[in-house]
Protein backbone atom coordinates (compact mmCIF):
# COMPACT_ATOMS: atom_id res chain seq x y z
CA UNK A 1 0.00 0.00 0.00
CA UNK A 2 2.81 2.33 0.69
CA UNK A 3 4.02 2.08 -2.90
CA UNK A 4 0.81 3.63 -4.23
CA UNK A 5 1.14 6.88 -2.29
CA UNK A 6 4.46 8.01 -3.78
CA UNK A 7 3.21 7.02 -7.21
CA UNK A 8 0.02 9.10 -6.77
CA UNK A 9 2.05 12.11 -5.65
CA UNK A 10 4.35 11.79 -8.63
CA UNK A 11 1.40 11.61 -11.04
CA UNK A 12 -0.23 14.68 -9.44
CA UNK A 13 3.02 16.64 -9.63
CA UNK A 14 3.42 15.70 -13.28
CA UNK A 15 -0.10 16.87 -14.15
CA UNK A 16 0.53 20.19 -12.46
CA UNK A 17 3.70 20.74 -14.45
CA UNK A 18 1.87 19.98 -17.69
CA UNK A 19 -0.89 22.46 -16.79
CA UNK A 20 1.64 25.18 -16.03
CA UNK A 21 3.51 24.50 -19.24
CA UNK A 22 0.29 24.79 -21.24
CA UNK A 23 -0.52 28.15 -19.65
CA UNK A 24 2.90 29.61 -20.31
CA UNK A 25 2.46 29.40 -24.12
CA UNK A 26 0.08 32.40 -24.27
CA UNK A 27 2.30 34.63 -22.11
CA UNK A 28 4.73 36.85 -24.02
CA UNK A 29 7.63 38.50 -22.36
CA UNK A 30 9.23 40.43 -25.23
CA UNK A 31 7.59 43.10 -27.45
CA UNK A 32 8.56 41.31 -30.67
CA UNK A 33 6.50 38.20 -29.91
CA UNK A 34 3.06 39.87 -30.54
CA UNK A 35 3.24 41.36 -34.05
CA UNK A 36 -0.53 41.22 -34.61
CA UNK A 37 -1.23 43.26 -31.48
CA UNK A 38 1.33 45.93 -32.36
CA UNK A 39 0.03 46.11 -35.94
CA UNK A 40 -3.56 46.58 -34.68
CA UNK A 41 -2.49 49.36 -32.26
CA UNK A 42 -0.66 51.18 -35.08
CA UNK A 43 -3.74 50.94 -37.33
CA UNK A 44 -6.03 52.36 -34.64
CA UNK A 45 -3.64 55.26 -33.97
CA UNK A 46 -3.40 56.02 -37.71
CA UNK A 47 -7.19 56.35 -38.15
CA UNK A 48 -8.49 59.93 -38.33
CA UNK A 49 -10.57 61.10 -35.36
CA UNK A 50 -14.35 61.18 -35.91
CA UNK A 51 -15.75 64.66 -36.50
CA UNK A 52 -17.27 66.43 -33.48
CA UNK A 53 -20.90 67.52 -33.45
CA UNK A 54 -21.33 71.26 -34.00
CA UNK A 55 -22.12 73.36 -30.92
CA UNK A 56 -25.80 74.15 -30.45
CA UNK A 57 -26.92 77.64 -31.31
CA UNK A 58 -27.68 79.60 -28.15
CA UNK A 59 -31.11 81.18 -28.09
CA UNK A 60 -31.15 84.94 -27.62
CA UNK A 61 -33.57 86.06 -24.93
CA UNK A 62 -35.28 89.38 -24.93
CA UNK A 63 -34.30 91.50 -21.95
CA UNK A 64 -37.01 92.98 -19.74
CA UNK A 65 -36.78 96.18 -17.78
CA UNK A 66 -38.97 96.46 -14.67
CA UNK A 67 -40.63 99.89 -14.55
CA UNK A 68 -43.25 99.41 -11.82
CA UNK A 69 -41.27 100.65 -8.81
CA UNK A 70 -43.76 103.47 -8.15
CA UNK A 71 -46.83 101.17 -8.18
CA UNK A 72 -48.37 99.64 -5.06
CA UNK A 73 -46.79 96.39 -3.86
CA UNK A 74 -49.45 93.62 -4.01
CA UNK A 75 -47.70 91.72 -1.20
CA UNK A 76 -47.66 94.52 1.34
CA UNK A 77 -49.87 94.32 4.43
CA UNK A 78 -51.60 97.62 3.58
CA UNK A 79 -52.94 96.11 0.36
CA UNK A 80 -54.49 93.10 2.16
CA UNK A 81 -56.01 95.02 5.08
CA UNK A 82 -58.12 97.53 3.22
CA UNK A 83 -60.88 97.36 5.83
CA UNK A 84 -58.60 98.85 8.52
CA UNK A 85 -58.28 95.67 10.56
CA UNK A 86 -61.93 95.37 11.55
CA UNK A 87 -63.40 91.91 11.92
CA UNK A 88 -63.00 89.07 14.35
CA UNK A 89 -59.61 88.61 15.98
CA UNK A 90 -58.44 86.23 18.72
CA UNK A 91 -57.98 87.95 22.07
CA UNK A 92 -54.29 87.46 22.84
CA UNK A 93 -54.64 88.99 26.32
CA UNK A 94 -57.32 86.47 27.38
CA UNK A 95 -56.17 83.66 29.69
CA UNK A 96 -56.60 80.24 28.06
CA UNK A 97 -59.10 77.87 29.63
CA UNK A 98 -58.45 74.19 30.32
CA UNK A 99 -60.53 72.79 27.44
CA UNK A 100 -58.61 74.92 24.90
CA UNK A 101 -55.61 72.61 25.06
CA UNK A 102 -57.55 69.77 23.39
CA UNK A 103 -58.73 69.50 19.77
CA UNK A 104 -62.49 69.97 19.46
CA UNK A 105 -63.04 66.52 17.94
CA UNK A 106 -61.41 64.87 20.97
CA UNK A 107 -63.96 66.39 23.40
CA UNK A 108 -67.11 64.38 24.17
CA UNK A 109 -70.35 65.77 25.56
CA UNK A 110 -71.53 63.23 28.13
CA UNK A 111 -74.58 64.95 29.62
CA UNK A 112 -76.23 68.10 31.00
CA UNK A 113 -77.23 69.52 34.38
CA UNK A 114 -80.16 71.84 34.97
CA UNK A 115 -82.86 73.01 32.64
CA UNK A 116 -83.92 76.06 30.63
CA UNK A 117 -81.50 78.97 30.54
CA UNK A 118 -79.41 77.57 33.43
CA UNK A 119 -78.35 74.40 31.61
CA UNK A 120 -74.73 73.28 32.03
CA UNK A 121 -73.05 70.79 29.67
CA UNK A 122 -70.74 68.05 30.91
CA UNK A 123 -67.76 67.47 28.63
CA UNK A 124 -65.20 64.68 29.00
CA UNK A 125 -61.69 65.53 27.78
CA UNK A 126 -59.05 63.03 26.59
CA UNK A 127 -57.51 63.15 30.09
CA UNK A 128 -60.74 61.42 31.32
CA UNK A 129 -61.78 64.41 33.45
CA UNK A 130 -65.32 65.75 33.13
CA UNK A 131 -65.66 69.56 32.88
CA UNK A 132 -68.68 71.86 33.19
CA UNK A 133 -69.30 74.09 30.17
CA UNK A 134 -71.58 77.15 30.08
CA UNK A 135 -72.22 79.74 27.36
CA UNK A 136 -69.27 82.11 27.08
CA UNK A 137 -66.68 79.42 27.90
CA UNK A 138 -63.94 78.52 25.44
CA UNK A 139 -63.05 75.06 24.18
CA UNK A 140 -61.02 73.58 21.32
CA UNK A 141 -57.75 74.81 19.84
CA UNK A 142 -59.30 77.36 17.46
CA UNK A 143 -60.54 79.92 20.01
CA UNK A 144 -63.95 78.24 20.11
CA UNK A 145 -66.40 80.34 22.17
CA UNK A 146 -69.54 78.50 23.39
CA UNK A 147 -72.65 80.37 22.19
CA UNK A 148 -75.34 78.06 23.54
CA UNK A 149 -75.83 74.83 25.44
CA UNK A 150 -78.73 72.52 24.57
CA UNK A 151 -79.72 69.15 26.02
CA UNK A 152 -78.26 67.30 23.01
CA UNK A 153 -75.43 69.57 21.81
CA UNK A 154 -73.07 72.48 22.48
CA UNK A 155 -72.90 75.18 19.80
CA UNK A 156 -69.82 77.35 19.45
CA UNK A 157 -68.05 79.71 17.08
CA UNK A 158 -64.38 79.13 16.19
CA UNK A 159 -61.92 81.67 14.76
CA UNK A 160 -59.86 80.30 11.88
CA UNK A 161 -57.29 82.11 9.71
CA UNK A 162 -58.57 83.10 6.26
CA UNK A 163 -55.15 82.79 4.59
CA UNK A 164 -54.80 86.52 3.90
CA UNK A 165 -53.87 87.67 7.39
CA UNK A 166 -57.44 87.91 8.71
CA UNK A 167 -59.78 85.66 10.63
CA UNK A 168 -63.12 84.01 9.86
CA UNK A 169 -65.81 82.83 12.25
CA UNK A 170 -66.80 79.21 11.71
CA UNK A 171 -69.74 77.56 13.50
CA UNK A 172 -69.11 74.23 15.18
CA UNK A 173 -70.88 71.93 17.60
CA UNK A 174 -70.23 69.04 19.95
CA UNK A 175 -73.08 66.54 20.11
CA UNK A 176 -74.15 64.35 23.01
CA UNK A 177 -72.70 60.86 22.76
CA UNK A 178 -75.34 58.14 22.28
CA UNK A 179 -74.48 55.19 24.51
Does the pLDDT of residue 17 top 60, yes or no? yes
Q: Encode pLDDT of 45-87 as tens digits.
A: 999 988 999 999 988 888 888 888 888 877 776 555 455 456 7
Rounded to 5°, the CA angle 99-104-109 comes to 75
* Span 140-167, pLDDT tens digits: 999 999 999 998 999 999 998 888 778 8
Calculate mean pLDDT across residues 77-105.
Answer: 76
Q: Domain 98-175, what fold?
A: SH3 type barrels. (2.30.30)
Tell me how far apart the alpha carbons of residues 173 and 147 are, in angstroms, rounded to a whole number: 10
**108: pLDDT strictly greater than 80:** yes
What is the C-alpha separation between 60 and 34, in angstroms, rounded?
57
- Single pTM value for the model: 0.52
| Separation of alpha carbons 142 and 96, rounded Å | 11
What does residue 168 show for φ and ψ, rounded to 5 degrees? -120, 145
Q: How confident is the model at residue 23 (pLDDT cuts 50, 70, 90)?
A: low
Amino acid sequence: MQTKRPLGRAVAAGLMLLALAGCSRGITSTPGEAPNLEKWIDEVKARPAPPLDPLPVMQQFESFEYNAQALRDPFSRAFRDQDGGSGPRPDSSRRKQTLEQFPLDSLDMVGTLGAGSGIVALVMAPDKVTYRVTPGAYMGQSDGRVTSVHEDRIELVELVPDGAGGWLERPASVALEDQ
